[in-house]
């Protein structure tokens, strides 16, 4: 009879641990999902910012070799992501114009002067950043630059558009974190409630609080780590399933490996932290509770 009781007791403890891990995994999955969307939006915003372009037009007296020297210098600037020399023929091709026909009309003159197209790095893809780049170009190459132009509306929309989505996901993330803390804390308390008499018995026979807490805290760390692994597995599976469906934004710009690594570290830290803290406070509650109040 005692063996059967012990068998059912061990099975109950195992099932309780499994249900705890599954519950925490699902909560971490939801947090990871919102955090993943936030990180992916940030990546998309940076990529979009770095596709913005500015054009540098030079004085007509400047020859092609001088312009290419300026191009080489600009490529070393920390503010710029890419720099490209655009010849008059390349400019005509981009505009879809026929070079020979235009030259006949304008008596063999150069229709479009050579220029340099640049894209800023994400940190400088703002109205203020583009103005700083523009001012620096004029100061670095005085009397050589005729004009530096860029679309101010595109720069402004690239910054404002994503911020609205990020603000919304940030609000959702905060709400989810609050709910997650409450649910994980409740899950841990319920798991420890079935062991309250074991905890109190250990205390009554002289075991110190540190000795009693140690196995429970170790189990909490393991449960938190396992929950983070399972939650991350669900998250990766979800993202790749969505990517293979009809979401073009994920097909064209899928989440990077760095994003997944950061998400896993976040879930691991959050899972272990919450389980350990919840276990600590729940244990302290049962340690302070009188034996008569445990029933």
135-172 confidence digits (pLDDT tens) = 999 998 888 888 888 888 877 776 666 666 767 777 87
Q: What's the pLDDT at 92?
A: 58
Residue with tokens 């974190």: 177
Same domain for 74 and 203: no
Kindly calculate the radius of gyration of the chain based on its CA atoms and give it in whole angstroms.
31
- Beta bridge partners, 56, equal 116, 148
Same domain for 41 and 115: no
Same domain for 174 and 87: no
Closest by alpha carbon to 232, among 205, 261, 255, 207?
A: 261
The sign of the CA dihedral 215, 181, 201, 17 is negative
Domain that holds residue 41: 2-47+158-294
Q: What's the pLDDT at 173?
A: 75
Same domain for 259 and 173: yes
Same domain for 268 and 212: yes
The mean per-residue pLDDT over the stretch 110-127 comes to 81
Q: Which residues, 6+ apart, have CB-to-CB distance to 71 below 8 Å?
A: 83, 84, 85, 116
Rounded percentage of the chain residues whose pLDDT exceeds 70: 76
Spatial separation of the C-alpha atoms in residues 80 and 230, rounded to whole Å = 41
Domain boundary among 150, 182, 212: 150
Spatial separation of the C-alpha atoms in residues 194 and 198, rounded to whole Å = 9
Q: Is the pLDDT of residue 186 over 70?
A: yes
The mean per-residue pLDDT over the stretch 69-73 comes to 90
Q: Is the pLDDT of residue 19 over 80?
A: no
Q: What's the pLDDT at 8?
A: 41
Q: What's the pLDDT at 255?
A: 66
Spatial separation of the C-alpha atoms in residues 173 and 31, rounded to whole Å = 7
Same domain for 171 and 62: no
Spatial separation of the C-alpha atoms in residues 215 and 13, rounded to whole Å = 14
The least confident of 137-146, 176-185, 259-268 is 176-185
Residue with tokens 């170790």: 218
Closest by alpha carbon to 49, among 169, 138, 149, 129?
A: 129
Spatial separation of the C-alpha atoms in residues 260 and 228, rounded to whole Å = 12
């Amino acid at each position: 009879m005692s063996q059967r009781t012990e068998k059912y007791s061990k099975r109950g403890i195992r099932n309780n641990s499994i249900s705890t891990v599954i519950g925490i995994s699902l909560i971490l999955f939801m947090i990871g999902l919102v955090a993943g969307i936030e990180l992916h939006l940030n990546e998309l915003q940076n990529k979009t910012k770095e596709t913005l372009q500015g054009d540098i037009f030079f004085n007509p007296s400047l020859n092609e070799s001088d312009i290419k020297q300026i191009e080489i210098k600009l490529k070393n600037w920390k503010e710029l992501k890419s720099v490209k020399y655009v010849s008059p023929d390349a400019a005509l091709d981009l505009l879809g114009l026929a070079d020979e026909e235009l030259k006949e009309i304008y008596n063999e003159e150069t229709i479009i002067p050579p220029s340099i197209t640049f894209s800023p790095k994400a940190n400088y893809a703002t109205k203020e950043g583009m103005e700083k780049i523009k001012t620096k170009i004029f100061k670095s190459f005085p009397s050589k630059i005729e004009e530096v132009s860029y679309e101010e509306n595109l720069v402004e929309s690239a910054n404002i558009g994503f911020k609205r989505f990020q603000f919304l996901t940030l609000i959702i993330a905060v709400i989810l974190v609050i709910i997650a803390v409450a649910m994980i804390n409740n899950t841990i308390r319920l798991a420890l409630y079935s062991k309250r008499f074991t905890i109190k018995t250990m205390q009554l026979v002289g075991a110190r609080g540190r000795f009693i807490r140690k196995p429970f805290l170790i189990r909490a760390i393991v449960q938190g780590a396992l929950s983070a692994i399972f939650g991350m597995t669900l998250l990766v599976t979800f993202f790749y399933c969505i990517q293979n469906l009809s979401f073009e934004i994920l097909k064209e710009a899928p989440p990077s490996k760095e994003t997944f690594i950061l998400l896993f570290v976040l879930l691991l830290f959050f899972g272990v932290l919450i389980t350990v803290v919840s276990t600590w406070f729940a244990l302290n509650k049962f340690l302070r509770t009188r034996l008569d109040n445990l029933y």
